[in-house]
Structure 1
């Protein structure tokens, strides 16, 4: 273990020394002098790493040749061998470093190619985007065309032409209601009560407008007109009628409480109508509800 550590330390230090001295050596033309200098550096490093001059792993320090006993060639051979070994190791390290660098570059390139393949596979396996379903714009409901036969029948009802324009408007609405054209009567009578609020026929008009809705199966729309006609003028020609029809509208709406209130008020306010012209209608309405 110590021998291998010493070799590794010695090799690293020698490599540093060689790099540090490469520039001065390059300036010399004498190869022999360069080798001798390297030998001296190796010997100096040897003394530091192995104090005492232990020669088990490196050649001991080479002393100057004695006169007449050792030739220069013989004394230089060990040093030349050591330097050659060092240079060979450095070449091996450089070659190994080049191989590692090449392997790293190959590995990096392979990793890049692998990442590209993974990205391509992920893109291929990704679920396709859900199609955007556009909701078609709502189309307006087609306007229903009036029945030609109904149009002809309504047109067959003539509108009176007298000196009293207000009375003519009311009479035309009455004729439409009497013929069973309730929507047309509603439109005509609304026109009349709005245009002639103080006409002598206005009480008739509001009451008949409520009846046009009630007969058309629309008690919710009918009730306000009956109540309005009663409250506007309790002495009006059709105020009593409107109060009784208001009770019938509440019965149709299954509002027993309000129906009983309207019937009670009708009996108290209009006793003559309750026992006379509207007695039959009054009795029928009372039979439909149970008032306490």
Structure 2
């Protein structure tokens, strides 16, 4: 009888071993699979250098758990059952994390595409505005007698690029009014060995006398014929002011913006930003746009603003109700 009991106990022990071994093996397989999936997520979040950013939709490496697979394990309440439950929770969380990563990547691509479309539209609008302003660059000249009385300018300095006919010798009065042409002719034209400097000084004298279209001609000639001249930033700024004072705020905006964009370190770039805000006000643009220009001016050129300009900016902020 005793031998029979021993034999039964041994048989029961041997019968229980395969069940536990099978359960433990199943959990180990799931843990290995979970580790592999976690490595896949890490490759998506932290891709190796040179392998990311191909803008392709990433297919999920983690599929939902196959609920149809029967779970084999030890009896309820055992350590293996607790471990299985924890593995199930980790698998569920990992699957949700993969879905969130894919959504974020999709939204990021949408943002990139939207920004690229906005940039293309803005460039097209600026190109269209510049094309509209191009015909205004040639003025109507009706006073040949002024050119006849203009002395021939001396030779340029070494290294300077001088056109065949000096722009300073070009009649500056686009108006057909003879009286106005006489007043323009009365303004002294400088004649030195620096043609670019002569254009700038003559244009400035015309602007001071409120002959804005004539001043516009001189500044445009300087910008076109002497793009590397030391007065180029001032000429671009004064072109904008001539357009603004001459009742062309829409074209003045382009002149001021070009001076700031192309020559941000020019000696009159900060003034162009200030007068850009004034042109926006004249065009009744939203106050938010004006305030952004003031913000840019104070952020980029805090050390170049004179006390008078600081006071003008402060008044402009109050008028536009800037925060």
Structure of greater Rg: 1
Q: Looking at both structures, which has the greater relative contact order when contacts are Cα pairs under 8 Å and sequence separation is at least 6?
A: 2
What is the TM-score with the length of structure 2 in the denominator? 0.44
What is the TM-score with the length of structure 1 in the denominator? 0.49
